[in-house]
Amino acid sequence: MEYLDLSPYEYRSFPLPLRNVGWLGTEWGVQGVDLPPLAAADLQLLRSASRLLGSVTLGTHRCEFCPEDAAVTGNGEYRYYLLNGDVYCAPEMVLHYLGDHGYRPPDVFLQGLRETGELEWDDRAERLRKVLLDPEADLGFRCAAVVDLPNWRDARALDAVQFAAHDEELAVIMGVEIGQSLVACLGDDLRAEDYPSTIGYGIDHARRLRRE
C-alpha cells in the first residue's frame, strides 16, 4: 500500500473523508526526506497523537526500506482528528518511518497537529455517533466509530460506546475495540467484570498498553 501524502484516502471505505500521510513504498520512496528533519517537538507531538489504533484486522504491512529478513511490519492505522476539521490517516508504521527512515510529514498536517486543545462536538463526531448507533450501518464503519469517538471527551461519545458495549452482537465482533474505547473514555473508572468477557479482555489489554 503506497499513497502520496495528502491524497484522498481510498484504501477502503470510511464514514468520513480522510487524507493520507505516511503510506510509504518504493515507487515514490521516503516522501519529504529532502526537507529539513522533523523538530524534536513535532516528533513528540506526532508520537503522542498516534495512540488510538484502528482497523487492525486489515492485514499486515511490511517496511519496504528495511532488509526483507528484518521483517519490520505494522498492522492497523492511526487517524488524526485535527481542530481545523481535517482528518488524516497513517499506517501504524509511520512511527518507524519517522524514527528510522527520515520520513517528514507535510507541513499542512504538522501545522494542524500543533493546534492543541479539546475537540468540540462537531459534524465528524455526530456522523460517527450516528453510524455506531445504526444497526443497518456497515460493521467496518461501526467498528471505526467505536475506536474514534473517544477523540471527543463528550458524554455523547461515551453514551454511544456504552450502547455498543451492551449490544450482544457488537460486543462479540468488536469487544477489543469497545474495551479499548471504554478505557480511553473512563480511565480506571470502570470494572472489567461489569462487561462481557470479550470486552473485559479489551479493557485489560488497553490498561496494559497504558502502563507500558
Can you tell me whether residue 47 is helix, strand or coil?
Answer: helix
98 versus 199: smaller Cβ distance to Zn ion: 98
Taking CB under 5 A as the rule, which mask of x and - marks residues 34-63 in contact with Zn ion? -----------------------------x
3 versus 97: smaller Cβ distance to Zn ion: 97
Q: Which run of H or E residues covers position 199?
A: helix 197-211
Asked if residue 127 lies in contact with residue 15, where contact means CB atoms within 8 angstroms, the answer is yes
Q: How far is the CB of 170 from Zn ion (least distance, A)?
A: 36
Among 6, 53, 56, 66, binds Zn ion (CB under 5 A): 66
Q: How far is the CB of 17 from Zn ion (least distance, A)?
A: 29
Q: How far is the CB of 59 from Zn ion (least distance, A)?
A: 18
Can you tell me whether residue 90 is helix, strand or coil?
Answer: strand
Can you tell me whether residue 44 is helix, strand or coil?
Answer: helix
| Phi, psi (rounded to 5 degrees) for 107 | -60, -40
Q: How far is the CB of 102 from Zn ion (least distance, A)?
A: 11
Q: How many residues does the chain have?
A: 212
